[in-house]
């Protein structure tokens, strides 16, 4: 993603936590104009004039840990977040924090589906429905061609997990996912 953004004319800063990570990143973006920095999360760009921050390719907990320092960035950028796993939990955190969802889509790469959000974390969305159903279902993806397939995968994962343990919450999530899949199929 850093290579693509740099090729499109954006000034790109990429950070890594370890020296080995920095070396690998430098090799990967060599000749692209991407500035590579050693540092923890967003710390290396706190005082840089950034207009957008991309946090992708990791689990939702790591993404939340990184973006929780957003108030330290002087320029108040927008955030693109794309978890490798835990998308429904990340969605729940976005709703709980009240961050404004400016855009959402499900990216497809090879056979994988990646829910992606563009967020404004500096303007809180007070008008959003915060009920448990609204917190769980990411209906902002309804316009995505991959939405139903992604819901089906999430539902299948939860059904498999239910065969190994009993969870009232997970059973409720399966019911919500099933209702949403059925609703979307009726719209098609």
Q: 32-41 pLDDT, tens per residue?
A: 988 899 999 8
CATH number, domain with residue 81: 3.40.50
pLDDT at 130: 57
31 belongs to a structural domain: no
Q: How many domains does the chain have?
A: 1
Write the pLDDT tens digit of every residue in 56-90.
889 999 999 999 888 888 888 889 999 998 999 89
- Whether the CB-CB separation of 55 and 63 falls below 8 Å is answered with yes
114 belongs to a structural domain: yes
C-alpha atoms less than 13 angstroms from C-alpha of 110 in its C-beta half-sphere: 1
- Whether the CB-CB separation of 22 and 36 falls below 8 Å is answered with yes
Query: Please, what is the average pLDDT of the chain?
Result: 87
**Segments forming the whole domain that contains residue 178:** 40-187
pTM above 0.85, yes or no: no
112 belongs to a structural domain: yes
pLDDT range class, residue 163, cuts 50, 70, 90: confident
Q: What is the mean pLDDT of residues 7-18?
A: 88
Q: Give the per-residue SS3 of the chain.
A: CHHHHHHCCCCCEEEECCHHHHHHHHHHHCCCCCEEEECCCCHHHCCCCCCEEEEEEEEHHHHHHHHCCHHHCCCCCEEEEEEEECHHHHHHHHHHHCEEEEEEEEEEECCEEEEEEEEEEEEECCCCCCCHHHHHCCHHHCCCCCHHHHHHHHHHHHHHHHCCCCCHHHHHHHHHHHHHHHHHHHHC
143 belongs to a structural domain: yes
pLDDT(141) > 90:
yes
- Work out the percent of the chain whose per-residue pLDDT is above 70: 95
pLDDT range class, residue 8, cuts 50, 70, 90: confident
């Amino acid at each position: 993603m850093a290579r693509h953004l740099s090729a499109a004319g954006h000034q790109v800063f990429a950070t890594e936590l370890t020296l080995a990570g920095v070396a690998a990143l430098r090799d990967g973006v060599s000749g692209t104009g991407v500035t590579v920095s050693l540092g923890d999360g967003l710390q290396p760009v706190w005082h840089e004039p950034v207009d957008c921050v991309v946090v992708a390719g990791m689990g939702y907990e790591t993404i939340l840990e990184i973006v929780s320092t957003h108030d330290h960035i002087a320029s108040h950028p927008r955030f693109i977040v794309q978890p490798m796993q835990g998308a429904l939990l990340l969605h729940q955190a976005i709703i709980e924090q009240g961050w404004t969802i400016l855009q959402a889509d499900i990216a497809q790469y090879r056979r994988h589906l990646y829910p992606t959000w563009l967020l404004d974390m500096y303007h809180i969305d007070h008008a959003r429905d915060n009920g448990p159903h609204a917190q769980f279902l990411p209906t902002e993806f309804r316009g995505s061609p991959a939405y139903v397939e992604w819901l089906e995968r999430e539902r299948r994962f939860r059904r498999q997990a239910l065969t190994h343990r009993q969870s009232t919450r997970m059973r409720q999530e399966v019911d919500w996912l099933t209702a949403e899949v059925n609703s979307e199929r009726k719209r098609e």
